[in-house]
Homo-oligomer: A and B are copies of this chain.
Amino acid sequence: MDKKNHQFLSDKTVEEASRTFKVLADPTRIKILYLLSQEECSVTHITEVLNMSQSAVSHQLRTLRGLRLVKSRRDGNHFYYSCSDQHVINTLTQVITHIDCE
């Protein structure tokens, strides 16, 4: 039971890290975030590009909004979404880059 020079993680840190990775663990959210990292998009546009149901996209956007990873602005009947957490985007991009360069 000798405690060495470890950096122990607090439960809070672990939970927060888990939360971050959980968001990125879903293929649909990966696609949405990657798309939004390149341009602001309306829900309809996301739906068309990803070839998904409007409902599924909206639900995922709600999740992402709840975690403050995306933000939206209204223009008439359209809502335009964009990324609002550069760190998460960086993490996503790094992993994708690493995968693609193999």
Taking Cβ atoms with an 8 Å cutoff, the residues of A that contact B are 1, 4, 6-7, 9, 13-18, 20-22, 24-27, 30-31, 34-35, 38-39, 48, 87, 91-92, 94-96, 98-100
When C-beta atoms are compared, the residue in chain B nearest to A24 turns out to be: B21
Which residues of B lie under 8 Å from residue A99 when comparing CB positions? Answer: 13, 16-17, 20
Assuming A1-B48, A25-B21, A95-B21, is B35 touching A6 (CB within 8 A)?
yes
Assuming A24-B21, A91-B91, A98-B87, is B4 touching A30 (CB within 8 A)?
no
When C-beta atoms are compared, the residue in chain B nearest to A9 turns out to be: B34
Number of copies: 2
- Give the one of A4, A25, A35 with max B CB within 10 A: A25
Which residues of B lie under 8 Å from residue A16 when comparing CB positions? Answer: 99
Q: How far is the CB of A38 from chain B (nearest CB, A)?
A: 6
